[in-house]
Amino acid sequence: MSTPAPDVVRSAYAQLAVTDLAKARWFWVDMLGFHVQYENADSLYLRGTDELTHHSLVLRKGDIAALDHLSYRVRTTEDVDKAEKFFTELGRPVKRLKKGEGTVGVGDAVRVVDPLGFPVEFFHEIERGERLIQRYDLHRGAQIARLDHFNICTPDIPAAYAHYRSLGFGCSETIEGDEHELYAAWMYRKQTVHDVAFTGGAGPRLHHLGVATHESHQVLRTADIFGALHEEKHIERGPGRHGVSNAFYVYLRDPDGHRVEIYTSDYYTGDPDHETYRWNVHDDRRRDFWGNAVIESWYKEATPVLDLDGRQQPVSSSLLDESAVQVGADGLG
Ligand SMILES: [Fe+2]
């Protein structure tokens, strides 16, 4: 590889295809409190209270529920060119989108199918949004502050780790077997625990989007609101405390089954000598610090992903199955 990797700043937004835009709006806007920055007949462009860019989530009407693409912001316009060269040199499908050809609010961008099979975009330019941080009068529902991370299902975790290392990502935490075989990894560019994490399983599929609140009481409030409205079926797992990342969490499923994690209280990783923290796969605290069982749907179910032409991509099955490891915290195996 002679082409330098693009300088990725952070995970920036995801675009999901949803089958019923009105139902999706109820879930993401009314219940979670995302702000509508822009909308048209078949799409919603949403952001959290702390986000100063145009959107962190795009919901578009589709025939099937799927991930359209994940998107990373890069530092300069030259990094968009670098991304195009980097993935072309890898022999991956690459599509250049001039401003106006791609997502509303986003400038010149490159979309690729990465070596893991995921549709991924790299862009620099994006429109700004009004500052809502102190518009407390507009903070509703789960009071989502910002997008935090993507979690993707992939059958080959070492390959995923190697790919994101080649893009300059650091590794904050891992789950490893007794022989240091890699079951999962959390990787970052911004100075938090992660921008992307890998869950071993059939892939490419999107496991979940992680969205941040300021405090743990907002995670509890989210679960209470779903319960109060007798919409508890949308709560899949938690609330709880993760071992990995130390975050307080609850996992929800939207009306199409897309999974979202409401996530708060992880930690700073920006020092240059920050070391990877390694969990053993037999440590019952890794997925839930209090040892609560992880339900089977959380390990097995995920969102299919599209290719650059909008076709659903086939999946390959996993090389290692963390849920089959004989450990009490999973309640499986
Ligand atoms: Fe997560």
208 CA from centroid of ligand 1 (Å): 7
- Which residue type sits at 5? A
- pLDDT score at 333: 31
210 CA from centroid of ligand 1 (Å): 5
134 CA from centroid of ligand 1 (Å): 26
23 CA from centroid of ligand 1 (Å): 23
151 CA from centroid of ligand 1 (Å): 6
Residue partners of 331: CB distance under 8 A and separation at least 6 = 293, 294, 295, 296
Say how far apart CA 277 and CA 156 lie, in whole Å.
20
Of 101, 46, 55, 92, the C-alpha closest to 307 is 92
Q: Is the dihedral of CA 220, 237, 293, 280 positive or negative?
A: negative
302 CA from centroid of ligand 1 (Å): 13
159 CA from centroid of ligand 1 (Å): 20
126 CA from centroid of ligand 1 (Å): 25
- pLDDT score at 332: 37
Residue partners of 78: CB distance under 8 A and separation at least 6 = none
- pLDDT score at 329: 38
220 CA from centroid of ligand 1 (Å): 17
198 CA from centroid of ligand 1 (Å): 9
Contact 36, 89 (CB under 8 A): no
150 CA from centroid of ligand 1 (Å): 7
Mean pLDDT of each 10-residue bin along the chain, 333 residues long: 89 98 98 98 98 98 98 98 98 97 97 98 98 97 98 97 98 96 97 97 97 98 98 98 97 98 98 97 95 94 97 89 60 34
- pLDDT score at 330: 38
312 CA from centroid of ligand 1 (Å): 24
89 CA from centroid of ligand 1 (Å): 31
238 CA from centroid of ligand 1 (Å): 12
154 CA from centroid of ligand 1 (Å): 15
Say how far apart CA 276 and CA 241 lie, in whole Å.
20
Owner of token pair 């440590």: 283
149 CA from centroid of ligand 1 (Å): 7
- pLDDT score at 1: 56
What's the gap between Cα 217 and its chain centre? 22
104 CA from centroid of ligand 1 (Å): 26
245 CA from centroid of ligand 1 (Å): 9
**What are the structure tokens assigned to 328, written together?**
């009490």
Find out whether the peptide bond into 158 is cis, omega within 30 degrees of 0.
no
| 39: enclosing H helix or E strand | strand 35-40
261 CA from centroid of ligand 1 (Å): 6
153 CA from centroid of ligand 1 (Å): 12
Say how far apart CA 67 and CA 88 lie, in whole Å.
22
DSSP 146-177: EEEEEEEEES-HHHHHHHHHHTT-EEEEEEE-
212 CA from centroid of ligand 1 (Å): 10
332 CA from centroid of ligand 1 (Å): 20
Residue partners of 6: CB distance under 8 A and separation at least 6 = 74, 79, 80, 82, 83, 86, 122, 167
28 CA from centroid of ligand 1 (Å): 17
Say how far apart CA 180 and CA 184 lie, in whole Å.
11
The angle subtended at Cα 226 by Cα 20 and Cα 254, nearest 5°, is: 30
Say how far apart CA 23 and CA 29 lie, in whole Å.
10
SS3 330: helix
298 CA from centroid of ligand 1 (Å): 11
- pLDDT score at 322: 81
- pLDDT score at 7: 98
**What are the structure tokens assigned to 115, written together?**
């070596």
304 CA from centroid of ligand 1 (Å): 17
pTM for this predicted structure:
0.96
